[in-house]
Structure 1
């Protein structure tokens, strides 16, 4: 069995950038990018026009049924690929909404079925996240330093709950480090087995 990594972190921590860098180093790496799959589902129904709109509207466009359907797709994806190649799941259960935050996690029973072998959480200082959002918002709302800090804490608490339930270690990585350096470190972790 290959490694299955649940990769998470608040927006602008560099999850998508990191997965692209890892894919360059590990050719057979399989990536399930939850936001892309959710966007495709909402595009097919005509509820959003792209991922930028999905990010900006968030709970105004996404229903719990949408999330659960993509959760089912993820379970099938992991079951198909985990026997032959490493898998990374790029996802975050916490979203910033106009009223505050929303957490739409897996049930612990479903997360058991997913069975990640590793849980990685990316974090960065609030100022770094704010600068990344200011430079390239892609539909992400502008937030305060405190909101960035709180979002990271909420996302970390969800990942920690998953890890505690499974008895799996949770690794936190500072994504302010150069992406190529971080990707090399994580590629080595991914290929150890």
Structure 2
């Protein structure tokens, strides 16, 4: 076990993942961050997709990124994690549940692939459906507007995937309500990164094993 943590951060759109990770990066400049949406946008552009930016990818989703694209990018992510977790704390900002015109789509890691990612912790960000709706209405950034029921489904589905990841990988899942003062949330997350508790991790893995 290295002195650095590897964290998988997830949550439904508008849960505050990207903005919170940006603030955490400012707090800890040496933090390695893989922002999945930005990486997928670049990956598809390099393959010749007529894609302007990440906002456009959010609006098109399944119309642009196929399961094969996701698998290919996941290979790059695993290589990135193997390298970067040796040099500093590493965070993957991702979500596997996407809103589509027909409902929802889940493109999750297989159990084996997530075990290869081997995070020390999973952080799930969530907010109440009303807050999700307000945030998207205020700044859609390519995200489709959703009903309160759809927001509930999205949050619950993403939480289900996160908990499944925790079970298959044997690492704890921490769920953070992001409808709080963001500076205080970043303080809490920074403390989690700086205070590596080997005993806590080993106890959890032994109990899960």
- The Cα of 1:108 is off from its aligned counterpart by 0.6
Encode CA deviations 1:83-113: one digit per residue, 9 max, x unaligned.
1200010000000000000000011101011
Aligned to 1:12: 14
Q: How many Å apart are 1:80 and its aligned residue?
A: 0.7
* Partner of residue 170, structure 1: 173
Partner of 1:157: 160
Aligned to 2:205: none
2:132 aligns with 129
TM normalised by structure 1 equals: 0.98
Show structure 1 runs of 5+ residues with no match. Answer: none
Indicate the residue corresponding to 1:40 in structure 2.
42
In structure 1, distance between residues paired with 2:44 and 2:109: 20
Which residue matches 1:183?
Answer: 186
Structure of higher RCO (CA pairs closer than 8 Å, 6+ residues apart): 1
Q: Secondary structure at the match of 1:31?
A: strand
> Which structure 1 residue ranges, 4+ long, deviate > 2 Å from structure 2?
none
Would you say how many aligned residue pairs link Structure 1 and Structure 2?
Answer: 193
Q: Secondary structure at the match of 1:5?
A: strand
Alignment partners' CA distance in 2, 1:188 and 1:98 = 40
* Structure exhibiting the larger radius of gyration computed from Cα positions: 2
Aligned to 1:86: 89
Which residue is equivalent to 1:145? 148
Superposed CA RMSD in Å reads 0.7
Consecutive unaligned residues in structure 2, runs of 5 or more: 197-209
How many angstroms apart in 2 are the aligned matches of 1:28 and 1:49?
29
Please give the alpha-carbon distance, in whole angstroms, between the structure 2 residues aligned to 1:167 and 1:78.
Answer: 18
Secondary structure class of the residue paired with 2:113: helix
Where 1:83 maps in the other structure, the secondary structure is coil
